[in-house]
Amino acid sequence: MANHPGDAESRVAVLVDCDNTTPEILEYALRVVAQFGRVVLRRGYGNHSTLANKWQEALVRLAFTPCLQYQYAAGKNTSDIALALDAVEALFDGRASTFCIVTSDSDFAYLCRKLRERGATVHIVGEAKSPDALRNASDQFFEWAKPAPEPESIVVESVALKQTSKAEIVKPAPKLRPKFIVEAVMLLAADTPEGKVGVGGLGSYLKRADPSFSPKSYGHSGLLDMLKTYDLLKVQQEAGGHWTARLADKPTA
């Protein structure tokens, strides 16, 4: 297996079984794997009818390479074989050491076991219908559920408005509190003994999950300023001078 001695973090491959899941799962999968390292491979596998319809927009928008597989005979799924071969090839030539397979199909359980036998780490992102055979074949299974419709962001109301004239009042830019920030803290802090995550590490994770992320896009001067607006989070400065964030304690009755 080829080595990359200069790599400071794991190289992650995200391989999606488009024939057996929904495009809505993609963003969740990318947020999950961002904590494990740098995503170097993004591929989506499916037949012509799958990739040409509901998956096309999602794959293009999230920078996935579509891997079109034609069906040479009725009832034969060539996409699964292509995904499995690409995973093994990526492991053997050293392009990836951590794999995230997005599927709910138990046919991939054997692939997971073989990758792990060769020293790879395997995560599965799937739906509730995923069978135990698939869940137990991975190092970690992340279950995705379709979220209930709700506003993406919460607006923090400003205390004061600046009056420029009697006829016109200019409202300051609203400060937004996107829900994914709380989800990121919850995800990263769950793996720490103290239940908190450094603000610097959180910022790196958010950038890996979404390279275009910037607190200024949500009306904040920086990530620390942004975190302080959340009622669901507690931000504090540690003895060494660095800042950490964790979930706020639930109020007692």
What is the C-alpha to C-alpha distance for residues 140 and 120, in angstroms, rounded to an integer?
12
98/180 same-domain check: no
| pLDDT at 114 exceeding the cut of 90 | yes
What are the pLDDT digits (tens) for 151-201? 555 555 444 444 444 445 556 668 889 999 999 999 998 888 899 999 999
Residue 252 belongs to some domain of the structure: no
Residue 148 belongs to some domain of the structure: no
Q: Tell me the DSSP string of 83-101.
A: HHHHHHHHHHTTS-SEEEE
Lowest model confidence (mean pLDDT) among 68-82, 132-146, 176-190, 211-225: 68-82
160/126 same-domain check: no
Last residue of a domain, one of 111, 143, 175: 143
207/238 same-domain check: yes
Q: Which domain holds residue 51?
A: 11-143
Quote the pLDDT of residue 50.
Answer: 83
* 116, burial (CB in 10 Å: exposed 0-12, middle 13-18, buried 19+): middle
- Phi, psi angle pair for 170, to nearest 5°: -95, 125
Residue 44 belongs to some domain of the structure: yes
Last residue of a domain, one of 86, 118, 143: 143
Residue 6 belongs to some domain of the structure: no
Identify residue 50 by its one-letter amino acid code: T
Q: Mean pLDDT score of the chain, rounded to an integer?
A: 85
What is the C-alpha to C-alpha distance for residues 104 and 126, in angstroms, rounded to an integer?
5
Q: Which structure tokens are listed for 212?
A: 């275009």
List Cα–Cα distances, 29 to 12, 15, 62, 126, 209, in angstroms. 12, 10, 11, 9, 9
| pLDDT at 4 exceeding the cut of 60 | no
What is the domain-level CATH number for residue 31?
A: 3.40.50.1010
Quote the pLDDT of residue 212.
Answer: 79
